[in-house]
Amino acid sequence: MNPLAYEPGMRPASNVAAPAAGDLSAAPATTIVTRKNFAASPGQVWDVLMFYEEIEVPPPLLLRLLLPLPIRAEGSKQVVGDVATCLYEGGHLRKRVTHIDPGRYYGFEVVEQQLAVGDGLMLAGGCYALRELPSHATEVAVTTRYVSRKRPGWLWKPIEAAVCHMFHRHLLNSMRRKIASG
């Protein structure tokens, strides 16, 4: 199984208000993957991934200007079917755990989006995939899937991808700091 492949059963949030351009639920999702290597074992990285509740360092200025500011996460995310609420300034996301392979893979779908993201992005889901590297290191791949109504796509897709990668790097750097602090 390719842990970065689209999982059957993953779908865009169904209770997001329909955008002016029409229903996005049938539109193809865009998938963005960002990878970072950690000087830590997969077990150490997994523990940080599963047990951190909030990012302690504020996002870079550009992210603060472009995306809602995260506040904290509430609820369990330990078992398939668990639903966690991610609170942001101006709204929230609810994410349901869809797949867990301890130490290797954590997948989720967005089941509720009451949050304006990028003037029309509908978040569908994502995952964290861990791969052991030589010398007790770990590669972490963060994946986000979303549907965009922004047009023209040739102009907006590269911008959306750049912002998504920037957000992923912020998450990954936060995880790295948490591992380094013990």
Q: Give pLDDT, residue 142.
A: 97
With tokens 């972490």, the residue in question is 140
Judged against a pLDDT cut of 70, whether residue 4 lies above it is answered with no
Q: How many domains does the chain have?
A: 1
The token pair at 145 is 């899937």
**For residue 160, which of 30, 12, 68, 22 has the smallest C-alpha distance?**
30
Judged against a pLDDT cut of 80, whether residue 6 lies above it is answered with no
In a domain, 98, yes or no: yes
pLDDT digits 0-9 by tens, 68-124: 888 888 998 899 999 999 998 899 999 999 999 999 999 999 999 999 887 789 999
What are phi and psi for residue 37, nearest 5 degrees? -95, 140
pLDDT band at 12 (very low <50, low <70, confident <90, very high): very low
CATH number at residue 171: 3.30.530.20
Judged against a pLDDT cut of 80, whether residue 22 lies above it is answered with no
**Residues 35-50, mean pLDDT to the nearest whole number:** 94
**Residues 40-58, mean pLDDT to the nearest whole number:** 84
Judged against a pLDDT cut of 80, whether residue 2 lies above it is answered with no
Judged against a pLDDT cut of 60, whether residue 16 lies above it is answered with no
In a domain, 1, yes or no: no
Is residue 100 within 8 A of residue 89, CB to CB? The reply is no
Q: Give pLDDT, residue 3.
A: 37
Q: Give pLDDT, residue 51.
A: 73
Q: Give pLDDT, residue 135.
A: 87
- The more confident residue out of 97 and 18 is 97
The one-letter amino acid code at 93 reads L
What are phi and psi for residue 108, nearest 5 degrees? -150, 160
Q: Give pLDDT, residue 27.
A: 77
170: three-class secondary structure by DSSP: helix
Domain containing residue 166: 30-180
In a domain, 24, yes or no: no
In a domain, 49, yes or no: yes
In a domain, 158, yes or no: yes
In a domain, 74, yes or no: yes
Judged against a pLDDT cut of 60, whether residue 8 lies above it is answered with no
pLDDT digits 0-9 by tens, 133-182: 988 899 999 999 999 989 999 999 999 999 999 999 999 999 999 999 87
Question: For the range 79-85, what are the long-range contacts, defined as Cβ-Cβ under 8 Å and sequence gap of 24 or more?
Answer: 83/111
Continuous segment of H or E residues that includes residue 165 = helix 153-180
